[in-house]
Every structure is written in structure tokens, then in C-alpha cells.
Amino acid sequence: MDKLVVKGGARLSGRVKISGSKNSALPILAATLLTPEKCVLHNVPDLSDIRFMLEILAQLGSEVTFENGTVTTRAPKVKSETPYDLVRKMRASICVLGPIIARCGRATISEPGGCVIGDRPIDIHLKGLAMLGAESRSEGGNVYVTSKELVGREIFLGTKFGSTVLGTDNVMMAATRAKGVTIIESAACEPEVRDLADVLVKMGAKIVGHGTRRVEIEGVDGLGGCEHTIIPDRIEAGTFMVAGLITGGDVFLDGANGDHMINVIDRMKSCGAELKCSGEGIQVAAPRKLSSIDLVTETYPGFPTDMQAQMCALMSVTPGISAITEKIFPSRFMHLSELRRMGAKVDLEGSTAIIHGVKELSGAPVMASDLRASAALVLAGLVAGGTTEVNRVYHIDRGYEHIDQKLRALGAEIERVR
């Protein structure tokens, strides 16, 4: 099992290429199951989650190739049962459910796995599909879904924690083949959901309103192939933004889309960061001192929960007292205990982390608990005195393409040890 060894103290500077969005690519790959025709997807990141999804597609009957960031798929026939050994490793595998139901009329899928960041039931997915006419039952760790005919209707997908991204994806994909019109109220409006809808439209779907809380889908008889370029990963961009700031550096995020990161940019500016957005990307530089801030994670366009851990790392070495409240996954604070091992002064009050900025962190062996927590520990290691060893980096490989190589190119002293 690999670990990352980080020697702190280097100031990062230079240009880093932002990869394609993992959270966009995964449901788009699932959407290729909706058509027997060829689909070509560019700017697909080389991540373990992507590789898992490609294996799932192959097991379901799709012909798949992946080379130099381009995935080509063709699914002349689709099987209805997903392989447990792959599905259990990745929560996003649930997004194949909608396409399989639309294509086969039945599906068997294991309860998906992924990061341990809190309870994330798939009930809302099944509720949405049930509204379209799909019946489901759970037995032995599997979910069995069947439908004689999908029929469009008005569906509310809101939850107490906000809109569900993968739930919106699943219902939207299934609805492309339902009879009549489906209206999704309280739909997720993240850029990744818009990207999926754009792909479905290229395939021949009739969708309007994507990117808003109300999405309307008119079912069609069949979908065709497409060619599409995946949008840049806004969470990777935000992570490298923090890397530049925490080291007092000056970094250009090549390809980052500022329109997808309005709230993140606003919070960064509030703590004193100097940012400049252009058509090519985002320039981020740190002044001599940053200032503490308060922030609350919310559904898009609010501050993303996937950036919460990274901001905890940044605020741990920022003068003053910061309050970071988690509203999406209230228990998503497993990284705090590891930051404390490095000298961070953090108190957890309910779903709010109260962070007292310290002058310096100390390098220590730490353990990654999930994808974004592992990124936060690497960021902390960049500024800590001495050496930090981040164990269980298979988590970080799920969502960051060659993060050690990219950081090293910016001047970081970081090494992957097997």
C-alpha cells in the first residue's frame, strides 16, 4: 500500500493543469449504457474510480477503450446485473441504475461503497425511479428494480440536506426513455449535472432547465452516440488553490473554470487571497498574511462540502478563529483528529469546527479516512515543519490525478513510497 511522504516548507509556484471532473465523468460514463452506438469522451481523468467504472461498464457488456484521456464505448447489449466486487468499492456506481432500467427494464445492483463520510442512503434514487414506474426491493445486500414501462411525471427530489446529485442524475437518465414528460423539482444544479444533461442532449434527449432547480425531460424512443469533452474538476482546482495559499505561493490553475467556483473564489478572497480569472484559468496568490473566515457548506451554488476538509487545513495555520460548518454531511470531520496530531487547535461543536490558527504545524504520520480528508492532510504536510507521512493514499488516488507529480512540479517536496 502506498503512502505520500511530504517535507514541508517549500513555497509553491508555477502552472498546474487541472484534470477533467471525476464527478462529471462517472455519471457520463454510465450514460453511455443508454445507447448501442459509439460514444467518445475526452478529458477523462486517469483515476482509480474511473478505472472501476470502466470495469463495471465492461462487465455490463460495453466495449471500452481508454487512452490518453479519451474513453470510447459501445454497448450493443447491456446486462442487468452489476458486479458486487466492483460496485462495493465506489458509491458513484449507483448511477448505472437509471441507464440499466431504461435500457433493460430491470436491474440488480449491490449497495454501493465509497468514502466513509456519513450516511448516504440510496432511498431517494429508488423513490424517483418508483415515481417513473419502477418497483424495487432489497434482499441480501442487493437492490432489485423492475419496470414494465417508465412513464414521465412530476418528481420532487429534495432532502433535508439539500438536492441529491446522483439521484438527479439517475432519474434524469431514466426519464430520457420514459413515455411523456418528466419534471424534476428541487433538482441538483451542480455543473456536473449540467455536463451530464449536455451529453444526453447530444445523444438525442430532450431536456430543458438543467442547471436550475426545475428540469424538464421529454422521453424519446432511443438515443444515439456522441462526442464530448468533460468539464474541468472544480474540486481539484480548489485543492490546488489552497495548496498555493497555504504555502504563501503563486499558482496558475490551467483550465480551471471560475464560473463553476463562484462561492469558493468568494471565500478565498474573503480570507485575503489574490485571484484573477481568465479564459485560460485562475491565478491565485497569497499575501503576506491571510485572515480567518467563517463558512458553511451548502448545495451548489453554495460552498461545496468536498472543499471543507481542505479549508480546515488552510485555516489551521491562518491567524485568528475560524468557524467551518458542515450542512451536507454533518459527521464529515474525521480529518480533524489527524490535523490535531500535527498540532492544529480544533474543537468540534456539533457540525461546526472551531479552528484557532497556529503559527506552525508539525510533521507526523497520519491516516487518510476518505478522499478529501487525504487531500487536506497532504496540504497540511506542505506547510508543516519536518516530514509528514500520509498513509492509505488509495483514497486520494480515487479523485486526484497524479497529485504528487503535480505538486512536485510546483516545487513541493513530496514522494510516493510503495
Burial code of 91-118, b = ≥16 C-beta within 10 A, e = fewer?
bbbbbbbbbbbbbbbbbbbbebebbebb
What's the pLDDT score for residue 113?
53
**CB-based contact 76:94 (threshold 8 Å):** no
Residue 138 pLDDT: 87
Are the C-beta atoms of 385 and 360 separated by less than 8 Å? Answer: yes
CA distance 266 to 175: 36
Q: In one letter, which amino acid is 78?
A: V
N-term to C-term CA, the chain: 6
Place of cell 414506474: 133
What 3-state class would DSSP assign to 335?
helix
Fill in the amino acid letter for 221: D
pTM for this one? 0.95
Nearest to 371 by CA among 113, 132, 79, 86: 113
CA atoms within 13 A on the CB side of 133: 17
| pLDDT at position 118 | 47
Give catalytic residues, as residue numbers. 115
Residue 309 cell numbers, joined: 476538509
7: left (phi over 0), alpha (psi -120 to 50) or beta: beta
Torsion of Cα atoms, 325 then 328 then 330 then 332, to 10°: -90
| Contact of 67 with 103, CB cutoff 8 Å | no
What CA–CA distance (Å, rounded) separates 348 from 329?
Answer: 14
Please state, in angstroms and rounded to a whole number, the distance separating the CA atoms of residues 399 and 114: 11
CA 385 to chain centre: 30
The vertex-28 CA angle with 24 and 30, nearest 5°, equals 125
- Whether the link from the prior residue into 301 is cis, omega within 30° of 0, is yes
Question: Is there a contact between 332 and 326 (Cβ–Cβ < 8 Å)?
Answer: yes
Are β-strands 352-356 and 321-325 bridged in parallel, bridged antiparallel, or unpaired?
Answer: antiparallel
Residue closest to 375 by CA, chosen among 349, 348, 339: 339
pLDDT per residue of the chain (418 residues) written in tens, 0 to 9: 789 999 999 999 999 999 999 999 999 999 999 999 999 999 999 999 999 999 999 999 999 999 999 999 999 999 999 878 777 778 788 999 999 999 999 999 887 654 544 444 688 999 999 999 999 998 888 889 999 999 999 999 988 877 899 999 999 999 999 999 999 999 999 999 999 999 999 999 999 999 999 999 999 999 999 999 999 999 999 999 999 999 999 999 999 999 999 999 999 999 999 999 999 999 999 988 899 999 999 999 999 999 999 999 999 999 999 999 999 988 899 999 999 999 999 999 999 999 999 999 999 999 998 999 999 999 999 999 999 999 999 999 999 999 999 999 999 999 999 8
Q: What is the pLDDT of residue 119?
A: 47
Q: How are the residues of the chain apportioned to helix, strand and coil, as percentages rounded to the nearest 5?
A: 35, 30, 40
CA-CA distance, 372 to 393, in Å (whole number)? 11
**DSSP structure class, residue 88:** T
Give, in degrees to the nearest 5, the angle at Cα 156 between 112 and 208: 95
Write down the pLDDT at residue 121.
Answer: 66
* Bridge partner list, 163: 158
Rounded Cα distance, 136 and 161, in Å: 24
Domains defined for the chain, CATH in brackets = 3-18+232-417 (3.65.10.10), 22-229 (3.65.10.10)
Give me the pLDDT at residue 140, please: 82
